Amino acid sequence: MSKINNMNDYTSKYNTNADYSYLFGASQNTSSSGSFSLADYASIKNGSYRKLLKAYYAKQDAEKTASTGESLQKATMLKSGADALKRSAEALKNNELWEKKKIKKKDEKTGEEMEVEDYDWDAITMAVKSFAEDYNEVVEQAGDSNSKDVLRNAVWLTGITEANKNLLSKTGITIGKGNKMELDEEVFKKSDITTLKSFFAGYNSFADKVSMKANSISIAAARISGTYKSNGTYSNTLSEMVSNKVDNKL
C-alpha cells in the first residue's frame, strides 16, 4: 500500500501534463487576465510569435510605403503645378507682353487684312488665362497637403489675391468658390491697358508677388519627402527622383 502511495506521489510530482505556469507567475488561462502562460511560452518556442510579428511589421511597412508613395506623388504634382504657376506669372509680368506690336488685323468692312501697331490682346488674354488656370491648380493641390510650409505659403498666396480682389474684378477676374480665379475674357479685353500693365507687369506687381509665392510652394513641396540618411546627410527623395529622370534622359 505504501508503495502505491509513493508511486502516486512520484507521478504527481513529475507529471508531464501538469501546469507549470506558476513558474512564470501566471495562470494557464490567459483569456481573462492576458497574463503569460505555458501556451504563450510554447508559441514563442516554436516560432509562432516570430511569424506573427514579422507579418505585423510587414503590413506596417507596406502601409507606410503606400502612404509615402501617395505623399510623394502629391508632392510631385504640387511642385510641378507651382513651377507652372511661376512660369506663367513670369510671362505675365514681362514688359514685352504689354508693348505695342505690329500685328495683322482684318478690316471689318472690306475683310482686307492689314498690318497695324497695337497691343496683342490675344496674346495678353492667353497669358492671363494660363496664369489663372495654373493659380487654381496650385490652390487646389496645396489645400490637400499636410505640409505646414506648403499651407503657410498657400495662405499667403490666396491672401495676396484677396487683398487685390477689387482691382482684379475691374479686369474681369473674380474670386469664386475655393479661392479660385474666374476670368471673363470679354470684360478683360475692354479693360484699360495702362491699369492692366501696372497691375501685372514688372517688379513688385501682382504677378511678381504670385511668382515668388509659387517658388516658395515649389521648394516646400520638394522638401516633403526629404529624409536624413544614416551618414547624417540630408536626402531629398523628390529632388533626387527628378534629377535621376533628367540623368536618364541624357
Q: Does residue 200 or residue 6 have the better pLDDT? A: 200
Q: Is the pLDDT of residue 138 over 50?
A: yes
Least confident range of 153-167, 184-198, 199-213, 219-233 = 219-233
Span 173-202, average pLDDT? 94
Span 169-184, average pLDDT? 94
**Residue 32's pLDDT band (cuts 50, 70, 90):** very low
pLDDT digits (tens, 9 = 90+) for 88-135: 999 999 999 999 998 887 777 777 888 889 999 999 999 999 999 999
Hey, CA dihedral for 175, 177, 183, 184, is it positive or negative? negative
Can you give the pLDDT at residue 135? 97
CA–CA gap between residue 198 and residue 203 (Å, rounded): 10
Span 75-87, average pLDDT? 94
pTM for the predicted model, two decimal places? 0.64
**Residue 228's pLDDT band (cuts 50, 70, 90):** very low
Can you give the pLDDT at residue 238? 52
**Residue 232's pLDDT band (cuts 50, 70, 90):** very low
Can you give the pLDDT at residue 111? 75
Q: Does residue 59 or residue 170 have the better pLDDT? A: 170
Percent pLDDT > 90 in the chain is: 48
Q: How many CB atoms lie within 10 A of CB 116?
A: 10
Span 37-62, average pLDDT? 58
Cα 119 from chain centroid (whole Å): 39
Can you give the pLDDT at residue 229? 44
Q: What integer best gives the mean pLDDT of the chain? A: 76
Can you give the pLDDT at residue 11? 47
